Every structure is written in structure tokens, then in C-alpha cells.
Amino acid sequence: MARRFSLPDALPPLRGSAATVYAILWLPLLAIALWLAVGAAWYGVADGAGDAYSWHALGINRDPGDGALIDRIAGDELRRADVRRGDRILAFDGIPMPQGATSDVQDWRIKAHLLDARGPIRLLLRRGKDQPRIVSLTRSTEHGDALMPAPG
């Protein structure tokens, strides 16, 4: 008759050097695991809340290779303002957008500005060789939802 493997009902008590080794190894690891879990939760909340203060809240998705170029739009407000894919953002509420603006620093500057902004956001846009024009847009989670619909 073969013996089956089973776990014991209880672990033997740790005493002496075994308890010391256990404490030295596991207590710092527990602290690190808790720190990482809290940090990941905070990052997720901060990043998710940040979407309300991003381009998506305006209904705009920028080109990943050239952040000053509009890649996608969503929402009636953008259509009424005649904002189209391929329009170039020259300035955002007076903040100049450098050509090929892909840096996170630029995104953080704009998010920080949106945190304090009240009322419509003014974009200075250029389409092709046309004259630049100013478009006023309102920030809304509905724009972001239309731009990035939730997965089924």
C-alpha cells in the first residue's frame, strides 16, 4: 500500500535559531510586499484619476510618434469645432507644444495645468498650411469614454 502525501495539521513551533532566521527573512519581505501593494494601488488610482486631466478628457488622442499631431477624436464638440485627425496642436492654453512632443514631461505639464484650469481649454491648431486657429473645448469624462470605450 502506497503512502499518500499530505500536509501536517499544524507546523511545529519555531524556537531558538529557527525563529530568528524566520524573523530575519520574512518580516522585511512582508514589509516590502505591503509597501509594493500600497504603492501599486496608489499609482493605479493616481493614473486613473489622471485621465480626467489628460487629452482624453478633451476627446483627443495624440499620435504616439508625434505628440503634437492629433491621431483620433471623439465627441460632437470636436466635430462642431471642426477638429480633425491630422490637425497639429501648436499650443495648449498658451503652453507651446514643441514639434514631435512625445515626452512625459510635456504630458505632466499639461495634466498639472488641467488640475488648476477652470472653464474651456483653448487649443491653437493648424491644419496643413492653413492659418492657425483657436478652438475652445470643455473637459468631460464623456469625451474620454467615447474615445476609449470600455472593453466588452
The CATH number assigned to the domain holding 84 equals 2.30.42.10
| Claim to verify: residue 91 and residue 26 sit in the same structural domain | no
Name the strand (E) or helix (H) holding 123. Answer: strand 121-126
Digit-coded pLDDT (tens) for 54-64 = 778 888 888 87
| Claim to verify: residue 78 and residue 120 sit in the same structural domain | yes
Name the strand (E) or helix (H) holding 73. Answer: strand 70-73
102 has pLDDT over 80:
no
Domain that holds residue 99: 60-138
Written as one letter, the residue type at 79 is R
Residue 5 belongs to a domain: no
How many separate domains does the chain show? 2
Residue 9 belongs to a domain: no
Digit-coded pLDDT (tens) for 116-135 = 777 888 999 999 999 999 99
Specify the range with the lowest mean pLDDT, choosing from 11-15, 100-104, 147-151: 100-104
| Claim to verify: residue 43 and residue 73 sit in the same structural domain | no
Residue 3 belongs to a domain: no
Q: Which residue has the higher pLDDT, 103 or 75?
A: 75
84 has pLDDT over 70:
yes
- Say how far residue 103 (Cα) sits from the centre of its chain: 14
CA pair distance 11, 15, nearest whole angstrom: 12
106 has pLDDT over 80:
no
